[in-house]
Amino acid sequence: MAYEHALFASLRNDRLELRLLPTEQCNFRCTYCYETFEHKKMRPGVVAGIKALISRRAPSLTELHIDWFGGEPMLAPDIVGDICRHARAQAAAHGFAYTGGMTTNGYFLDEAGFRHCLDHGVNDIQISFDGDRALHDKSRVLGSGAGTFDRIWSNVMAMKSVKDDFAVLLRLHYTAENYRQVAEFGRKVHDTLGDDPRFRLFFKGILPLGGANDAAITRLTPKQDAEIRRLLWNESGYPLNDISVGKVCYAAMANSLVVRSTGRLAKCTVALSSDYNDIGEITEDGDIVIDQPKFQRWIAPVVEGNWAVVGCPVEWVARQAMAAKAAA
């Protein structure tokens, strides 16, 4: 039933989800990162195109969700604010629901940064940790190589004292080598934040996603991963809350697009360097120019009811693209 509801929602014309990359630069250089940092801040013409698209769609929308991604989106807070102000004005004028989220490393979410997000309706935030300080600072580092744990943890602690309504998902990364230490940190999160329902926990295994250090990442079997996740939840003190169950990935949704800082369009925020994920562009006038065969490949699992794939279609799409290329 959960899948059926999500499948229906992913096809509705009155809903629009935009994942926007206001910059593809980042102040971090995480050891397992797959991004190339080739592109910089979103060009004014792309910003204008996004605003024009929202204005064009506004009369027919009941829901608009904007999720900020990067790079690190808080390196471009002016663009975040500009587009959010426009989206909220359109929502007020046309009566549709607007929601905003952000995936961020949390480094710039001090009092001023967090307030900037909340004041612009960005109140659903995901922040990653790789464990406690000693573990986190080995992998989630600045460009200089310096650790980042203390500043991010301090920012999260300060958020707890804010009275506003918001949701923070703390995404804890684990590997075959460090999961027991990550379990200990999960317990620390519970003991520190477990009394505040605005903070939630999620465990995610590190995967080789095309980064320079992929060879050093141990790929877990599905059985191993399930056993580790069970241990992590048990040790954390939190009830099991697998947010991926019954969910259709945004990449498989017909009403969801990723807009890169260059104006190129994608469906997935992971395979950014892959041709099968480069599906078109947005013009300065807000027109969406789509490579239909590529787009149709991404939404095929939803259209065909492929339950095994809708939760994360990227590997399936990659195989389909490879087969189509071989057959050409």
33-71 tens-digit pLDDT:
999 999 999 999 999 999 999 999 999 999 999 999 999
What was the pLDDT predicted at 1? 43
Domains of the chain: 2-327 (3.20.20.70)
Is the pLDDT confidence value at 260 over 80?
yes
The pLDDT tens digits of the residues spanning 119-178 come to 999 999 999 999 999 999 999 999 999 999 999 999 999 999 999 999 999 999 999 999
| Mean per-residue pLDDT over the chain, rounded | 94
Is the pLDDT confidence value at 8 over 80?
no
The pLDDT tens digits of the residues spanning 180-228 come to 999 999 999 999 999 999 999 999 999 888 888 888 889 999 899 999 9
What was the pLDDT predicted at 216? 85
pLDDT band at residue 10 under the 50/70/90 scheme? confident
What is the residue-wise DSSP string for 28-93?
A: B--TT--------BPPHHHHHHHHHHHHHHGGG-SEEEEEE-SS-GGG-HHHHHHHHHHHHHHHHH
What was the pLDDT predicted at 239? 87
Q: Which amino acid is at 310?
A: V
List alpha helices for 166-240, DSSP H: 179-193, 222-236
Is the pLDDT confidence value at 5 over 60?
yes
What is the residue-wise DSSP string for 290-325?
A: E-HHHHHHHHHHHHHT-TTTTT--HHHHHHHHHHHH
The pLDDT tens digits of the residues spanning 50-60 come to 999 999 999 99
pLDDT band at residue 241 under the 50/70/90 scheme? confident
